[in-house]
Structure 1
Amino acid sequence: MFDYIFQYLVRWCLTLFLISLVAPASVWANTYLDAVAWNRTAHQDWQSGFSDAVSIQANHAGIEIVPDPKNGTRKVLRITIARRGNYSYVANGSPRAELLFKGAATFAQGFEYLIKWSTYIPGDFEFDSKQMVIISQIHQSAREGGATVALTLLGTNYYVSTRGGLQVERTTAGAKICCADGDRGKWVNWTLRYIPDDSGRKSLTQLWKNGESVFRSEHIANAYSGDQCAYLKIGLYKSGWKKERSDAELQTLFYGPVSIFKR
Structure 2
Amino acid sequence: MSQNKYKQYRKWLDFITLSSATTLLLVFISVWLIPFSSKVNSDTLVFLSDFESGFSEWGAEFRYEYSAQLVNSPVRAGKQAIKFLLKKEDTRIDGVKRAELRLGEVPPDSEIWYGFSVFLPTNYHRDPSSEIIAQWHDLPDKNLGEKWKSPALSLSTKDGKFILNRKWDSKRVTVVPEGKEVVDLGLYQTGKWTDFVFHVKWSSGSNGRLKVWQDGKLVVSRNGPNNYNDARGPYLKIGIYKGDWKNQPDKSIVSERELYFDEVRVGDANARYKDIAPRD
The answer to whether TM tops 0.5 is yes
Q: How many residues align?
A: 215
The alpha carbon displacement at 1:231 in A equals 0.6
**Matching residue of 1:31:** none
The alpha carbon displacement at 1:141 in A equals 1.6
Q: Which has the higher helix share?
A: 1
**Matching residue of 1:139:** 137
Instruction: Please say if 1:67 is aligned against 2:67.
Output: no
Distance in 2 (CA, whole Å) between partners of 1:192 and 1:151 is 11
The one-character-per-residue Cα deviations of 1:17-40 (angstroms, maximum 9, x if unpaired) are xxxxxxxxxxxxxxxxxxxx9532
Please tell me the residue identity of whatever aligns with 2:53: S
Instruction: Please say if 1:154 is aligned against 2:162.
Output: no
**Matching residue of 2:144:** none
**Matching residue of 1:259:** 265
Relative to structure 2, which stretch is displaced further, 240-249 or 204-213?
240-249
Contact 1:146 1:168 in 2 (8 A): no
Instruction: Please say if 1:233 is aligned against 2:232.
Output: no
Answer with 1 or 2: which has the greater Rg. 1
Distance in 2 (CA, whole Å) between partners of 1:169 and 1:185 is 38
Distance in 2 (CA, whole Å) between partners of 1:168 and 1:133 is 23
The alpha carbon displacement at 1:236 in A equals 0.4
Distance in 1 (CA, whole Å) between partners of 2:242 and 2:149 is 15
Paired residue for 1:55, among 26, 34, 59? 59
The alpha carbon displacement at 1:222 in A equals 1.3
3-state SS in 1 of match to 2:251: coil
Contact 2:76 2:117 in 1 (8 A): no
Instruction: Please say if 1:184 is aligned against 2:184.
Output: no
**Matching residue of 2:100:** 98
Q: Which runs of 4+ in 1 moved over 3 A?
A: 70-73, 166-171
With over 3 angstroms needed to count, the CA separation of the structure-2 counterparts of 1:73 and 1:222, relative to structure 1, is: closer
3-state SS in 1 of match to 2:108: coil
Please tell me the residue identity of whatever aligns with 1:116: G
The alignment's C-alpha RMSD in Å is: 2.1
**Matching residue of 2:12:** none
Contact 1:119 1:253 in 2 (8 A): yes
Distance in 1 (CA, whole Å) between partners of 2:82 and 2:227 is 28
TM-score normalized with structure 2 length: 0.71
**Matching residue of 2:253:** 247
Kindly report which structure 2 residues correspond to 1:157-236, keeping only aligned pairs within 5 A, or say none: 157-165=161-169, 166=171, 167=174, 169-170=176-177, 172-180=180-188, 183-199=189-205, 201-219=206-224, 221-236=225-240
Please tell me the residue identity of whatever aligns with 1:91: D
With over 3 angstroms needed to count, the CA separation of the structure-2 counterparts of 1:99 and 1:207, relative to structure 1, is: same
In structure 1, stretches of 5+ residues that fail to align are: 1-36
With over 3 angstroms needed to count, the CA separation of the structure-2 counterparts of 1:218 and 1:127, relative to structure 1, is: same
Relative to structure 2, which stretch is displaced further, 206-215 or 136-145?
136-145
With over 3 angstroms needed to count, the CA separation of the structure-2 counterparts of 1:249 and 1:39, relative to structure 1, is: same
3-state SS in 2 of match to 1:91: coil
3-state SS in 2 of match to 1:257: strand
Distance in 1 (CA, whole Å) between partners of 2:122 and 2:77 is 17
TM-score normalized with structure 1 length: 0.76
3-state SS in 2 of match to 1:241: helix
With over 3 angstroms needed to count, the CA separation of the structure-2 counterparts of 1:176 and 1:227, relative to structure 1, is: farther
Contact 2:109 2:233 in 1 (8 A): no
Distance in 1 (CA, whole Å) between partners of 2:100 and 2:196 is 18
Contact 1:136 1:150 in 2 (8 A): yes
